[in-house]
Amino acid sequence: MTVEIFLLGAVLLAIGLIFTSTLRTATPPLPTSASVRETLLAMLPETMDGPVYELGSGWDGLARTLARRYPSAPVRGFEVSVLPWFVSRVFLGVSGPENLSLTCKNSHATDLSDAALVVCYLTGPAMEKLRPKLEAELPPGTLVASNIFAFHGWQAIDTQTAPGMYKSQVYLHRVG
């Protein structure tokens, strides 16, 4: 009986942590599907000259993929939901990669002015809140990729539909 109560408490705590961060940010920590990761990688250059930021790194599947794709570039994931961040940190400690760092911090408090690539899988309202920050901080030539939700007023240099059941749109922009 004690084990069941402990497990129930742990599950309720996990749900509460995710629900609270979702209410705060209007974006749940959703994993990026394998088909979207493959589509995004096909859109990106083979090499990256500078830091890669994933804003809303969730369970770190995309951040880990980007770190492996660009082993010479620092890849920095930011997540505000404690549970996905913690799980990601455990996996990072066990299996790397070395160029990946994960921070439990709101990306709005992070200076992105050195970015070569910014990737985000956020909801429409969160993207609109992020847009002025990106416009103010990112240097010309910086690539910005997003999944499903586009930035209003930005012209994508490439848009592709990921194969699979959901047919997710993947957008790639270049800061002018």
pLDDT, tens only, 65-120? 999 999 999 999 999 988 899 999 999 999 999 999 999 999 999 999 999 999 99
What confidence tier does 141 reach under pLDDT thresholds 50, 70, 90? very high
pLDDT over 90 percentage in the chain: 72
127 has pLDDT over 80: yes
Tens of pLDDT, residue by residue over 27-49, are: 676 789 999 999 999 999 999 99
Q: How far apart are CA 21 and CA 18, in angstroms?
A: 5
10 has pLDDT over 90: no
Assigned token pair, 105: 């911090």
What confidence tier does 24 reach under pLDDT thresholds 50, 70, 90? low
Strands (E), the chain: 52-55, 75-79, 100-104, 117-120, 143-147, 158-161, 169-174
> Residue 50's pLDDT is what?
98
- In the DSSP assignment, the letter for residue 120 is E
Q: How far apart are CA 172 and CA 152, in angstroms?
A: 13
What confidence tier does 136 reach under pLDDT thresholds 50, 70, 90? very high
- Residue pair 171/127 in contact (Cβ under 8 Å)? The answer is no
Length of the chain, in residues: 176
The arrangement of secondary structure in 2-174, i.e. its CATH architecture, is 3-Layer(aba) Sandwich (3.40)
Assigned token pair, 63: 């951040």
- Residue pair 110/136 in contact (Cβ under 8 Å)? The answer is no
Rounded to 10°, the helix 2-25/82-95 angle is 110
19 has pLDDT over 60: yes
Q: What is the mean pLDDT of the chain?
A: 90
